[in-house]
Amino acid sequence: MKLKCASFFAGVGGIDKGFELAGFKTIFANEFDYNASVTYKLNFPNVEFALCDIRGLDANKDIPDFDIMLAGFPCQAFSVAGYRQGFNDEKGRGNLFFELARIIEQKHPKVIFLENVKNLVSHDNGNTFAVISDTLEKLGYFVKSAVLNASNYGNIPQTRERIYLVCFKDKELYKNFDFPKPIKLTKTLKDVIDFETRQDDKFYYTEKCPFYKELVTGVTKSDTCYQWRRVYVRENKSKLCPTLTANMGMGGHNVPLIRMFNGEIRKLTPRECFNLQGFPQDYMLPTTICNGALYKQAGNSVVVTVIQRIAEEIKKAILN
Ligand SMILES: C[S@@+](CC[C@H](N)C(=O)[O-])C[C@H]1O[C@@H](n2cnc3c(N)ncnc32)[C@H](O)[C@@H]1O
């Protein structure tokens, strides 16, 4: 029988998808963003979904029993790009980790899988991470963590360094578990981005754009990703896509740029952003929500292939 997962801060279910591909089954998900819930439900129609603030969940009444907790908890409070306030974040986001602790205390899952920005380790001189590890240990868990870059661990041409925590209630399982080894990057940008087929006009930059001249001189190769940084074009020299972020959804010029084979310059489409997060081709994007919301969802998500590889190692540890 498949082990059951419950997913918190589920977004569009990137973590859930990785675990599903490794042979686990998500039975419950919680998320409070309506647009993300539309994408989630389209792809996981059989999962019980609670569209509400995690702070309103009663673990005993609202959440069925499960074996594995999945959570990529909000990272703004810990991110260099965010407020750098950690647990004291005035918007309270840093404290959401303690909502997970509250649920763990009541549900005692066998395994806890957490994902966050790499900066979680160094935040507040390591204090934030120490509090998280300490809390998990006090709850009776053995914790292993690693920072993995998607380009080295997920065969995906995106630079995305994230910290993963895998926590076991059983010491033997903990000893059995190791993070996956690096793998060769064989996928190129051309495998996930279409440099040839004409896309909708709205993705293209034209002479109407006030910095079009700079784009034309800066965006020169059709095998590379670029970013417009206020006054200049930044080229990614390693032929990778830079880390996709949720602020792609805020309009402006935050979505990475490419040069088509015919010389036209455009931003990536939402589908290409999901491809760069390692989502399989059969993952569906709803047509009822705007592209801004889809960009945000992609940027907030995870690289599915990295999650799948970690989940496969968790499975091995359990079957051992
Ligand atoms: C970093 S994203 C996680 C994305 C997810 N791992 C995925 O693959 O799409 C964090 C998510 O937490 C949700 N969130 C933030 N605060 C929340 C809260 N208080 N209750 C429920 N969900 C919340 C956000 O809407 C966002 O979708």
> Distance (Å, rounded) from C-alpha 240 to C-alpha 141?
36
Mean pLDDT of the chain: 93
> Distance (Å, rounded) from C-alpha 214 to C-alpha 231?
9
Compute, in angstroms, the gap from residue 71 CA to the centroid of ligand 1: 9
Spell out which residues line ligand 1, taking CB within 6 angstroms: 9-15, 30-33, 36, 53-55, 72, 74-75, 96, 300-302
Which one-letter amino acid corresponds to residue 179?
F
Indicate which CATH number applies to the domain containing 158. Answer: 3.40.50.150
Q: Which residue among 5, 7, 30, 32 has the greatest number of ligand 1 atoms within 8 angstroms of its CB, and so is best to mutate?
A: 32
Taking a C-beta distance cutoff of 8 angstroms, is the pair 307, 18 a contact? Answer: yes
Name the DSSP letter for residue 201.
Answer: G
Cα–chain-centroid distance for residue 69?
16
What pLDDT is recorded for position 83?
A: 45
Clarify whether residues 263 and 289 are in a common domain: yes
What pLDDT is recorded for position 89?
A: 60
Provide the number of structural domains found in the chain: 2
Grade residue 94 by pLDDT with cuts at 50, 70 and 90: low
Clarify whether residues 278 and 219 are in a common domain: yes
What pLDDT is recorded for position 75?
A: 59
Identify the CA nearest to 122 among candidates 82, 79, 88, 151: 79
pTM, to two decimals: 0.94
Indicate which CATH number applies to the domain containing 284. Answer: 3.90.120
Q: Which domain holds residue 54?
A: 4-182+303-319
Clarify whether residues 10 and 141 are in a common domain: yes
Taking a C-beta distance cutoff of 8 angstroms, is the pair 205, 197 a contact? Answer: no
Which one-letter amino acid corresponds to residue 164?
Y
Q: Which atom of ligand 1 is nearest to the CA of 54?
A: 20
At 8-23, the pLDDT tens digits run 999 999 999 999 999 9
Clarify whether residues 164 and 267 are in a common domain: no
Cα–chain-centroid distance for residue 191?
20
Compute, in angstroms, the gap from residue 252 CA to the centroid of ligand 1: 23
First vs last C-alpha separation in the chain = 16
Clarify whether residues 139 and 194 are in a common domain: no
Clarify whether residues 64 and 106 are in a common domain: yes
**Nearest CA residue ID for atom 10, ligand 1:** 74
At 194-213, the pLDDT tens digits run 999 999 999 999 999 999 99
Clarify whether residues 22 and 153 are in a common domain: yes
Q: Which residue among 31, 91, 102 has the greatest number of ligand 1 atoms within 8 angstroms of its CB, and so is best to mutate?
A: 31
Compute, in angstroms, the gap from residue 11 CA to the centroid of ligand 1: 5
> Distance (Å, rounded) from C-alpha 236 to C-alpha 24?
36
Q: How far is CA 76 from CA 11, 119, 184, 242, in A?
A: 15, 10, 31, 18
Total number of residues shown for the chain? 320
Token pair of 6, please? 């419950």
**Nearest CA residue ID for atom 18, ligand 1:** 53
Clarify whether residues 149 and 204 are in a common domain: no
Clarify whether residues 38 and 106 are in a common domain: yes
**Nearest CA residue ID for atom 12, ligand 1:** 9
**Widest distance between CA atoms in the chain:** 63
The answer to whether residue 75 is catalytic is: yes
| Extended beta strands in 131-202, E state | 142-149, 161-168
Identify the CA nearest to 192 among candidates 273, 99, 123, 247: 273
Clarify whether residues 60 and 196 are in a common domain: no
Token pair of 293, please? 């919301």
At 260-316, the pLDDT tens digits run 999 999 999 999 999 999 999 999 999 999 999 999 999 999 999 999 999 999 999
Clarify whether residues 137 and 25 are in a common domain: yes
**Nearest CA residue ID for atom 2, ligand 1:** 300
Clarify whether residues 26 and 121 are in a common domain: yes
| Extended beta strands in the chain, E state | 4-8, 25-31, 48-51, 68-71, 111-117, 142-149, 161-168, 204-205, 226-229, 232-235, 257-259, 265-267
At 227-241, the pLDDT tens digits run 999 899 999 999 999
Token pair of 3, please? 């082990």
Compute, in angstroms, the gap from residue 74 CA to the centroid of ligand 1: 6
Compute, in angstroms, the gap from residue 10 CA to the centroid of ligand 1: 6
